[in-house]
Amino acid sequence: MKPTRTRYKVLAWCVALAGITYLDRICIAILAPSITADLGLSPVQMSVVFSAFTVAYGLFEMPTGYWGDRIGTRRVMTRIVAWWSAFTIATAAAFNYSSLLVVRFLFGVGEAGAFPNSGKTISMWFPIHERGRAQGIFFAGAHITGAVTPLVISALMAYFHWRAVFVIFGAIGFVWCLGWYRWFRDDPAEHPEVNETERDYILASRSVAKKGPFHWGEFLRMFSHGHLLLLCFMYFTQSYGFYFFITWCPTYLEKARGFSKLSLGLASGLPLLLCAFADILGGEACDRAVKRFGTRWGRGIVGTLSMLGAAAAMLAGTNAANPTLAIWLLAIAAGMGSFVLGASWSTALDMGGTKAGLVGAVMNTAGQVGGALSPVVLGYVLQKTGNWDFPLYATGVLYILGGLCWLVIDARKARLG
């Protein structure tokens, strides 16, 4: 019997979720100049607003990832999308710094766990040797949306106030919730569209078969695993760099590089467009490297080359005198940083096993720490010195350290569930 391909429909739903998350996230970065002018915010206050989301996201990441392990991702992901959509809309009601800060913090509380639960879904629906590609396609959905969002917002701003744009984008998530909850099932064996051949194919090499119990001692022991800690630090460096591109990059291009309002939409979307291509190519490269060199060195090679390539491009782009060359080099840095995502999440899922949601959340929490620090550090340096270069050079150095971590990381030595 020819196998059905329902797992790819599941992936399509996850890609749509990834796209919606970035539609909402990028929105505030692009609209930051209008928001700061309307609400009278300083650069540091806007940095704290950016980070309020990330801090809340990080705080609630592990509880929500564990929740998905316990009750399944069908219900948890429905709740996540409904919550963050509501607070995307609520952003339109902000009337001062404090109200915007509270709304964006609650936004982060709601979105926490979206990517770990998507990873958990992929671990349940895809065999090990297809996960790199699946994760790459998943992140491509997020980054393509991020690349297109500046152009969409530029068009909408010709007709709508920035508050209306948040309402429009927030409403899209509720449509996803209704479709997901009606169609999806947590286990392929329970889905009516999955035939026996596809079910057996998924289960034959799937490392996650059932839910595992939670023990505080086991949870705390996770943080004594050196390989997991290195994976978390690597992801910290990757996210630290990436958050520049979804927070301050549009302002940097306008203020430091002299891009006009007309060209800003295209220029600020270029890094995420290259990220989308890198996601897919990186996921494919990861799966091919694993088949040739095994999980240890297959992912290690992809990870090391990705992060070192990101460092080289970041440092060169910051130093480039020509604005067009600079944005292309910085976009390449963003793309190389995203090339590593398939290897990163596949490694986290392998380490997690039955606790894939929780371990993915641990890694992603480390990433959110980097994401929270990135805009605040840049905002403070900018306010104190007016210098854009130092924070970007520091990001390049962090990329180098992240690349070196991959020379040691081995998922086989840190199986946690």
Q: Lowest-confidence range among 115-124, 199-208, 267-276, 277-286?
A: 199-208
Question: How far is Cα 87 from Cα 319, in angstroms, rounded to an integer?
Answer: 39
Opening angle at CA 267, ends 264 and 271, nearest 5? 140
Opening angle at CA 112, ends 368 and 375, nearest 5? 30
CB atoms within 10 A of CB 262: 8
| pLDDT confidence band for 209 (50 / 70 / 90) | very low
| pLDDT confidence band for 118 (50 / 70 / 90) | very high
Question: How far is Cα 30 from Cα 150, in angstroms, rounded to an integer?
Answer: 6
CB atoms within 10 A of CB 168: 17
pLDDT of residue 188: 92
pLDDT, tens digit, 9 for 90 and up, residues 309-367:
999 999 999 999 898 899 999 999 999 999 999 899 888 878 877 677 778 888 988 99
* HSE-up of residue 179 (Cα within 13 Å, Cβ side): 12
- Please state the pTM of the whole predicted model: 0.74
pLDDT of residue 260: 73
| Residue 255 confidence (pLDDT) above 70 | yes
SS3 355: helix
Domains and CATH numbers, the chain: 6-413 (1.20.1250.20)
Question: How far is Cα 347 from Cα 122, in angstroms, rounded to an integer?
Answer: 13
pLDDT of residue 135: 85
Q: What share of the chain is helix, strand, coil (3-state, %, to 5)?
A: 85, 0, 15
Distances from the Cα of 42 to the Cαs of 53, 103, 384, 416, 417, in angstroms? 18, 18, 12, 44, 46
| Residue 208 confidence (pLDDT) above 60 | no
pLDDT of residue 214: 53
pLDDT of residue 396: 96
Cα Rg of the chain, angstroms: 20
Please, are residues 203 and 209 in contact by the beta-carbon 8 Å criterion? yes
| pLDDT confidence band for 27 (50 / 70 / 90) | confident
Question: How far is Cα 47 from Cα 248, in angstroms, rounded to an integer?
Answer: 9
Please, are residues 46 and 32 in contact by the beta-carbon 8 Å criterion? yes
